[in-house]
Structure 1
Amino acid sequence: MTHVLVIEDDSAIRSSLVRSLSERGHAVSSAANGLAGLQQALDQTPDVVLLDLGLPDLDGHSLLTMLRAVRDTPVIVVTARDDDPSVVAALDNGADDYVVKPFGMDQLQARIRAVLRRTGSGDADRVITVGALAVDPAARTASLDGAPLELTRREFDLLLHLARRPDEVVTKREILGEVWNLPYSGSERTVDVHLSWLRRKLGETAAHPRYLHSVRGVGLRLSAPQDTGTADGPATGEDATTAPEPGPAR
């Protein structure tokens, strides 16, 4: 059961969130101001925090900075502020996601699931193995055939996201939203470039994939090789193009 801490000063919104999240099977606690919320975050170690920016005692950005100094708890900012500076400041200060009021509970539930997957909370901390590929979310390390892989931050995040859903086709739009935290309308070329670098480090190509398979018009699938000689034939996705050499860690 996921423990959600709601830090929201509006009593009607707070009560609605507590009720709706509880109905969806979460354990929920709440606080009406920043200092009380910070204390609960320290005492209760929730799985995820829903944080309003417009609090009566502390600005939400300040609270986020204070929380990040002592906890790695995933934080989803839930606020009426929809201006770019507020969004950028929240993400730069350590927020894992940003939801603008009003919002639907189905959307918020999906955001909670996505953040928990992305940050490796709960059972997601276990080492994931797909064939000879091993991904450790807690240590943020990966190895292939026992040899460590030297991955940039984004390459690891991309590999982890796919490894958590082996044999499933994941769209590039979803990857943009959950790995890069970009709008679903962002450029899919970002995914293509990092995918090309990741393939290279896994010792495969788009024309001869072993683990990373492109599905034309749909997305990507991470699957264990059927045998060491498996090749799926010519690449059919956009990532078949040659990408530049990887630069500094992203």
Structure 2
Amino acid sequence: MKDNVRRVLIIDDEISIRKLLRVSLEANSYHVDEAVSGQEGLQMAASQRPEIILLDLGLPDKSGLEVLRELREWTQVPVIVLTVLDSDNDKILALDGGADDYVTKPFSVPELLVRMRVALRHSQGVAEKKDLKSGPLTVDLPGHTVLVDGEMVKLTATEFNILKVLIKHKGKVVTHRMILNEVWGPNSVEHTHYLRVYVGALRKKLKTREDIPEVIVTEAGVGYRLLDLD
């Protein structure tokens, strides 16, 4: 296998989806392995050691959430969930269970490729860097400083902590529960109204001019995503 080819494992029982993904991914320098059941997917994840996994939630032998839980017992390989289930609860369960992102079927192949690139970058230690960036935004975690287009922006301690959670997971959806747990603690995971107020204030501070793009987007009913604008 060539050095620049990334290995992806598709765990999906729909042959049409696997065929579409194989053609699209191989055209974009991915090596594709396929599994048609949860158990086969777990075995191939262990034997083939993919760099990223595309996981369907509706598998014939066990749920995708169960497969995800078993994967997370031994690996942090990026997992993007593919699902026809469009309820907020399904997305939240997948994300809280350790998925890096989700894409709802039918999906846009270009969007999926972008999500995969973001997940792969994140897995390579983005969160370990001192300076974290997204477009005009630069955050120095140790120094607790935030710059927008090179200009200092003053944030409250709570606003900074919310931004820190989002930027550590840049490009990924972070659920309300995950943010509330990290910023306020486990006893506050139901207080989403607090979070909406603080995120609204944070957005205003980060948009220092009209031409500055929004970097925090809302995933309705689920959480927030800090865009990967690099």
Fold equivalence (TM over 0.5): yes
Secondary structure class of the residue paired with 2:110: helix
5+ residue gaps, structure 2, are 133-137, 145-156, 177-194, 216-230
Bigger CA radius of gyration: 1
State the Cα distance separating 1:128 from its structure 2 match. Answer: 4.8
Which aligned runs of 4 or more in structure 1 are off by greater than 6 angstroms? 150-153
Change (3 A) 1:125 1:25: farther
Relative contact order: is structure 1 or structure 2 higher (C-alpha 8 Å, sep ≥ 6)? 2
The within-5 A match list for 1:147-166 is 154-160=162-168
**TM-score, reference length from structure 1:** 0.57
Extract unaligned runs of 5+ from structure 1: 136-141, 162-174, 197-205, 207-211, 222-250
1:195 and 1:114 map into 2 onto residues whose CA distance is 22
Aligned length: 175
8 Å Cα contact 2:95/2:175 also seen in 1: no
Change (3 A) 1:144 1:86: closer
Separation in structure 1 between the aligned mates of residue 12 and residue 161 of structure 2, nearest angstrom: 32
- After TM superposition, the score normalised by the length of structure 2 is 0.61
Deviation of the 1:104 alpha carbon: 1.3
Contact 1:127/1:134, CA 8 A, preserved across alignment: no
Alignment check: 8 A CA contact 1:76 1:95 kept: yes
* 2:210 alignment partner in structure 1: 216
Check 1:23–1:68 CA distance in 2 against 1; reply closer, same or farther (3 A cut). same
Q: Among all aligned residue pairs of Structure 1 and Structure 2, give the percentage whose two residues are the same amino acid.
A: 35
Which of the numbers 77, 83, 86 marks the counterpart of 2:81? Answer: 77
SS of the residue corresponding to residue 77 of structure 1 reads strand
Kept in 2, the 8 Å contact 1:48–1:74? The answer is: yes
For residues 96-129 of structure 1, the C-alpha deviation after alignment (integer angstroms, 9 at most, x for no partner) is 2121111110111122123234xx2237477355
CA drift of 1:193 comes to: 4.4
